[in-house]
């Protein structure tokens, strides 16, 4: 069965510092996708970054980078130079193609950026 | 594209009433998902359609819940009769059939059953 685990229910980080949000996954599929979403207090789900299972390099999108360690089945999100607007829930997700594109989400990590 | 469109954004209803949530996915997307989000349970997948066909409805909590996708541009999630414990935010999301494509979420419907 596919499973996404986020072990940090809540995290705090000082403004302008970097923070790592942990995500581990469990799958036996050879091909899969890994995603991070941000959900601010306003409620919308915002896509941040994607990593393919065959990608050799870690994905980066601006201040976001995904630390992908395939052997450890981890896909941690690194946010550099944290800003107050980064305070939100963050969800890790995995996709697999069986009949269409199926997504599995973790339970989320609440990040608070302290001024 | 306008993105995934859900209606209504907010719904307040009395226990026992029927509630219908609506979703218009992004044109060209083959997969459509209904999720429910609560503080207690987090983000739960209720049902998933591919090419308008329900593929996995194992997350639908009870027979009171039903979902349809009559065509590629419209889906409904119905709760009949509604109960206070159904109060949650319901998200619809859509995606293409490609591993490197994210799920695009609607703004959600906040349902309150009193």
Distance from CA of B6 to the nearest CA of A (A): 12
Task: State the Cα angle at A3 between A93 and B57, rounded to 5°.
Answer: 85
Burial of B16 (0-12, 13-18, 19+ CB in 10 A): exposed
Contacts of B35 in chain A (CB under 8 A): 105
pLDDT tens for chain B, residues 1 to 114: 689 999 999 999 999 999 999 999 999 999 999 999 998 888 999 999 999 999 999 999 889 999 999 999 999 999 999 999 999 999 999 999 887 889 999 999 999 999
For B66, other C-beta atoms within 10 Å of its C-beta total 16
Interface test with A, best of B99, B101, B106, B111 (most A CBs within 10 A): B99
- DSSP SS3 for B93: strand
User: What's the pLDDT at A99?
Assistant: 72
State mean pLDDT over A75-94.
97
How confident is the model over A4-22, as pLDDT tens digits? 999 999 999 999 999 999 9
How confident is the model over A23-70, as pLDDT tens digits? 999 999 889 999 999 999 999 999 999 999 999 899 999 999 999 999
Q: How far apart are CA B93 and CA A36, in angstroms?
A: 15
């Amino acid at each position: 069965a596919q499973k996404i685990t986020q072990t940090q229910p809540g995290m705090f980080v000082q403004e302008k510092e970097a923070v790592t949000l942990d995500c581990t996954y469990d799958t036996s599929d050879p091909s899969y996708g890994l995603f991070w979403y941000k959900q601010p207090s306003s409620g919308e789900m915002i896509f941040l970054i994607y990593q393919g299972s065959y990608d050799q390099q870690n994905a980066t999108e601006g201040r976001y980078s995904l630390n992908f360690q395939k052997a450890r089945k981890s896909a941690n999100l690194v946010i550099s130079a944290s800003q107050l607007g980064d305070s939100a829930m963050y969800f890790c997700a995995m996709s697999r193609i069986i009949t269409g594109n199926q997504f599995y989400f973790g339970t989320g990590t609440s990040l608070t950026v302290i001024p | 594209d306008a993105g995934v469109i859900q209606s209504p954004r907010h719904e307040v209803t009395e226990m026992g009433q029927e509630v219908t949530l609506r979703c218009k996915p992004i044109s060209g997307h083959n997969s459509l998902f209904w999720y429910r989000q609560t503080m207690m349970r987090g983000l739960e997948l209720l049902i998933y359609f591919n090419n308008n066909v329900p593929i996995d409805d194992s997350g639908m909590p009870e027979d009171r819940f039903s979902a349809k996708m009559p065509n590629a541009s419209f889906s409904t999630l119905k709760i009949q009769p509604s109960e206070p414990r159904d109060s949650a935010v319901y998200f619809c999301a859509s995606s293409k059939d490609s591993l490197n494509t994210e799920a695009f979420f609607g703004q959600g419907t906040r349902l309150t059953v009193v």
